[in-house]
Amino acid sequence: MNERILNKKHSIICFGPALLFGLVSMACTMRSPELIPDERAEVQPVIVTRENPSLPSRCSPLEVARLILQFFDAFNRGDQEQLAKMFSLGGSDQDRWYSVSDGSLWSEDRTHFVAYTNEDLLAYFAERHEMQEHLNLLKVDVGPGHHRNDAGIAIVLSRQAKDLRTTGKPFQYLLGKGQIDCVSQTILVWSVGAASPDSEPPLPELCPPPPLDSPGNAVIACARNQ
């Protein structure tokens, strides 16, 4: 599909800093967002509301959002071959990992999964596919990473699954952080969690808001405000 860019004139208001897993983002800009439909996941467009040309090559907000959408698409379909290509775990000193937490820090039924190798991660993905887990990206904020060719991300997503411990809601919000290798286009770190199994916290204002007439299923992506 040929990429289309639809410029939407829209005045963006300013918000205070949003703190998420130690990542601070000030949502304030007067830039007109660009509505950019994702070339592969046509049903979920990406709206970029703030750019930063100093980010590493291949890690613009649009490119990172598309990478995560590719991950979620493979996860939702149970595509083990594609998932294996998207992660690069097994680094030295366990500095690369994938983790998911449920429940509050003090809850007796709190669960926490962590994988430090691709082998363990793919086994976990297979288990979650059996539970019909479905991930949906809502927001992603992209900033500098720990290394020259890495990018750090803050993310907001929702998920559904047969065994999801919620009360009266079909989905759960997850908040988290991650690390992207911009050269290999792989995920080095992914760490998400919910405050409690049935919580519905206000979603962090990681990015400036999109135009009011934006598609309801659009992913909001932005560069971190330095």
**Residues 31-68 pLDDT 10s:** 444 444 444 444 689 999 999 999 999 999 999 999 99
Burial of 87 (0-12, 13-18, 19+ CB in 10 A): buried
Q: What pLDDT is recorded for position 2?
A: 32
Pairing state between β 134-144 and 219-223: parallel
- Asked whether 5 and 34 are in contact (CB, 8 A), the reply is yes
- Region of poorest pLDDT, from 30-44, 45-59, 77-91, 108-122: 30-44
- Asked whether 99 and 191 are in contact (CB, 8 A), the reply is yes
Q: What pLDDT is recorded for position 180?
A: 97
- Asked whether 154 and 176 are in contact (CB, 8 A), the reply is yes
CA geometry: angle 92, 135, 58, nearest 5 deg: 55
Q: Over 50: is that where the pLDDT of 23 sits?
A: no
Domain ranges within the chain, ordered by starting residue: 6-223
Residue showing tokens 């897993």: 21
Q: If you average pLDDT over every residue of the chain, what do you get?
A: 79
Buried/exposed 132-169: b ≥16 CB within 10 Å, e otherwise: ebbbebbbbbbbbbeeeebbbbbbbbbbbbeebebeee
Task: Locate all alpha helices (DSSP H) within 38-162, ordered by sequence.
Answer: 61-77, 80-86, 118-130
Q: Given this structure, which CATH class describes domain 6-223?
A: alpha beta
pTM attached to this predicted model: 0.79
Paired tokens of 121: 């991660």
Closest CA to 144 of 49, 48, 51, 226: 226
pLDDT tens per residue across span 181-206: 999 999 999 999 985 555 555 567 89
pLDDT tens per residue across span 147-174: 899 999 999 999 999 887 666 677 888 9
The whole-number average pLDDT for the span 117-146 is 96
Residue showing tokens 């992914």: 190
Pairing state between β 6-7 and 17-20: unpaired
Q: How many residues does the chain have?
A: 226
Instruction: Please report which confidence band the pLDDT of residue 208 belongs to, taking 50, 70 and 90 as the band edges.
Output: very high
Closest CA to 154 of 134, 184, 175: 175
The identity of residue 9, as a single letter, is: K
Q: What pLDDT is recorded for position 170?
A: 76
Q: What is the CA radius of gyration of the chain?
A: 17
